[in-house]
Amino acid sequence: MSIRLKLIMAVTAILVGAFVLISLFNYNVSRKNIHDEIVYSALPLTRDNIYSEIQAGIMRPIFVSSLMANDTFLQDWTAFGEKDPDAIQRYLSEIQDEYGFFSSFFVSVSTRNYYYQGGILKKVSERDRHDDWYYDFINSSEKYDLIVDTNEAASNILTIFINHRVQDHAGKFLGVTGVGLKMDKVSKLLDSFSKKYSKQIYLVDLSGIVQAHSDVDLVGKTNIKNMPGLKDVSDRLLRSSSTPAMFEFSVDGVKEYLTTRYIPEFEWILVVQQSEQAALSAARDNLSRTLMVGGGATLLILSLSIMTINHFQIRLEKQAGTDALTGVANRRLFEQRFECAMNDHRRSGKQFSLILLDIDDFKRINDLCGHLKGDTIIKDISAAISSAVRDADFCARWGGDEFIILVDGKVDIAMNVAERIRSSVYNSYKCSTASPEAEEIKITVSCGVSEFQDGDSLDSLALRADKAMYESKIRGKDQVVGG
């Protein structure tokens, strides 16, 4: 049974169990006091459930922005000079179409071009006040942020932008990418929550200004410090933003209950407000039934979702670092391991060396025996290397018929490891070909060894090992030479 099927079955069981509990709970709920129901049950649970739904909705564009920022296509396209603007336009358009966002964009730090799904919008400039968001963000230390701004690419429609910093594998800043959500979409979402839960729901920033509301006219213009009734508790509300809180106040003689919860991804406060008069109608029968169990079910569903994401993330990371033919590490993973070895050397002076080996006359082997046999030989040599190296050593396919080994120790240890590899690789293969010279092919490798020195990089260390490897070929191949 697949993991995905197990998760589906688990979610189904949770939901069914939840609704069974609801039926049992409703038998006794009618006796509860309405005030206690709102203050201690319905309103807090509504708040937490809406918080979970909003966070789930917001985490999706944040997650997509993070995927874009870590997409090797975007990083490579930028690093190679942004030579094909049509390619980035198609990429951003596909992101928009795939996930249904209002817009998607990338701003290059090198050219200052603002790319979006429709092409190049403009060049950002410090003189353009509309570009203040870009310079504020790149001067901050945040990986991502969310802002409400007008969208120049869409008739200045009010939009929530998720901005994410783009860096290459070395940490070099390349630009800012992200997506935009139409503000009226968020307003409609809040309006749907209001209708669903029979409550007034909106978002305010830490200064009290309304940032999202079912009434778009209030957004960015109204401060809760000036709202009737609410202004009496606004200061306490804003001071208690870091923890969920409950407030009571009156508007035109009608008692209102209000609860808040801070949303760190927005740096905004979720406000859920309900009048006592509204609670007298359907709140006891409807909200108490769905929200009491809904909160717990939501937490369990989120936990299962995290398990699923982690599972597939581990699989993706493993695939990204493994050579498909041999099953050993690929060049990308080796570069990461090399960085770790350099860091260990800087901290503790721990020595390490490099072995670079190449299959002798591999082109001739391929020509005589065929590429399928050549692939078999590469896999066999990979297995021989893995058997010959120690647990502390690290082997990777460097490319084509070359392998590279990171050896824990000085050059003399590496020379011994390389000699073991050379001895274990030596073999004869018979090819099913009519050519007499291909009846028996001797398989050997030439090895170059170099030791890491202060100031070395992967390129300089590999270059010395490469020179030593070619020296071994000049000397007659099937040898180990230090460099």
Residue 152: DSSP 8-state: G
Q: State the CATH number of the domain containing residue 470.
A: 3.30.70.270
Please report, rounded to a whole number, the percentage of residues in the chain having pLDDT higher than 70: 82
Average pLDDT over residues 107-123: 94
Lowest mean pLDDT among 122-131, 148-157, 177-186, 435-444: 435-444
Residue spans of alpha helices (H) in 143-207 = 183-197
pLDDT at residue number 271: 92
pLDDT at 283 over 50: no
Q: Do residues 365 and 389 share a domain?
A: yes
> Which of 261, 292, 320 is where one domain is finished?
320
Q: Do residues 253 and 347 both lie within one domain?
A: no
pLDDT score, position 446: 94
68 within domain boundaries: yes
Answer yes or no: pTM beyond 0.75: no
Quick one: 406 and 265 in the same domain?
A: no
* Judgement on whether residues 255 and 138 belong to the same structural domain of the protein: yes
Residue 110: the pLDDT is: 93
Long-range contacts of 274-281 (CB under 8 A, 24+ apart): 274/38, 274/42, 274/43, 274/46, 274/198, 274/199, 274/200, 275/251, 276/34, 276/35, 276/38, 278/198, 278/199, 279/34, 279/37, 279/38, 279/42, 280/34, 281/198
What's the confidence (pLDDT) of residue 5? 54
Nearest 5°: phi and psi at 120?
-100, 120
Average pLDDT of the residues in 369-387: 87
- Whether the Cβ atoms of residue 12 and residue 238 lie closer than 8 Å to each other: no
Q: In whole angstroms, give the CA distance from residue 12 to residue 361.
A: 60
Tens digits of per-residue pLDDT, 203-247?
898 899 988 887 878 888 899 999 988 888 888 888 876 788 889
Q: 440 falls in which pLDDT band (50, 70, 90)?
A: low
Q: How confident is the model at residue 134 (pLDDT cuts 50, 70, 90)?
A: very high
With 90 as the cut, is the pLDDT of residue 250 above it? Answer: no
* Total domains present in the chain: 2
Let me know if residue 302 belongs to a domain: yes
The range of the structural domain enclosing residue 214 comes to: 1-320
Residues 390 and 469 in one domain: yes
When pLDDT is averaged across residues 429-458 and rounded to a whole number, the result is: 76
- Looking at residues 437-451, what average pLDDT do you find? 81
Q: For residue 7, what pLDDT band results from cuts at 50, 70 and 90?
A: low
- Which neighbouring-strand residues pair with 182? 159
Range ranked top by mean pLDDT from 163-177, 238-252, 294-308:
163-177
- Per-residue pLDDT tens for 332-341? 889 999 999 9
Q: Tell me, what's the pLDDT at 314?
A: 67
* pLDDT band, residue 114 (cuts 50/70/90): very high
Query: Is residue 255 domain-shared with residue 160, that is, in the same domain?
Result: yes
Q: For the residues 412-436, what does the mean pLDDT come to?
A: 75
**What is the structure's pLDDT at 474?**
93
The least confident of 51-55, 254-258, 308-312, 439-443 is 308-312
At 404, the pLDDT band (50, 70, 90 cuts) reads: very high
- The most confident of the ranges 93-97, 140-144, 288-292, 367-371 is 93-97
Query: How confident is the model at residue 434, as a pLDDT?
Result: 43
Tell me which of 356 and 160 has the higher pLDDT: 356
pLDDT(279) > 70: no
User: How far apart are the C-alpha atoms of 276 and 441, rounded to whole Å?
Assistant: 89
Helix (H, G, I), strand (E, B) or coil at 244: coil
Whether 71 and 142 have beta carbons less than 8 Å apart is answered as: no
One domain, residues 256 and 109: yes
Do residues 438 and 468 share a domain? Answer: yes
Q: How wide is the angle at C-alpha 173 spanned by C-alphas 167 and 175, nearest 5°?
A: 85
Q: In this structure, is residue 99 part of a structural domain? A: yes
Say if residue 10 is in the same domain as residue 110. yes
Statement: residue 269 has pLDDT above 60: yes
Average confidence (pLDDT) over 127-137: 92
What value does the mean pLDDT take over residues 298-313? Answer: 65
φ, ψ for residue 371, nearest 5 deg: -70, -30
Tell me which residue of 273, 219, 264, 226 sits closest to 245, measured CA to CA.
Answer: 273
CATH number at residue 91: 3.30.450.20
Q: Tokens 């082109």 map to which residue?
A: 363
Q: Is 445 found in the same domain as 316?
A: no
Q: Residue 168: pLDDT above 80?
A: yes
Kindly provide the b/e burial profile for residues 457-468, where b requires at least 16 CB atoms within 10 angstroms of the residue's own CB.
Answer: ebeebbbbbbeb
Top-confidence range, 47-56, 301-310, 336-345, 437-446: 336-345
Average predicted confidence (pLDDT) for the chain: 83
Confirm whether 288 is domain-assigned: yes
User: The dihedral of CA 63, 68, 70, 71: what is its sign?
Assistant: positive
Structural domain contains residue 325? no
In this predicted structure, what is the pLDDT of residue 255?
84
Mean pLDDT of all residues in 124-153: 89
Instruction: Report the alpha-carbon distance of residue 416 to residue 428 in Å, rounded.
Output: 23
What pLDDT score was predicted for residue 28?
47
Domain boundary among 299, 320, 341: 320
Asked, for residue 326, whether it belongs to a domain, the answer is: no
- Binned at pLDDT 50, 70 and 90, residue 27 comes out as very low
Q: Final residue of a domain: which of 320, 350, 380? A: 320
Residue type, 140: S
Are residue 371 and residue 261 in the same domain, yes or no? no
Q: pLDDT (tens digit, 9 = 90+) per residue, 343-375? A: 999 999 899 999 999 999 888 888 888 888 888
300 & 379 share domain: no
CB 111, CB 81: distance < 8 Å: no
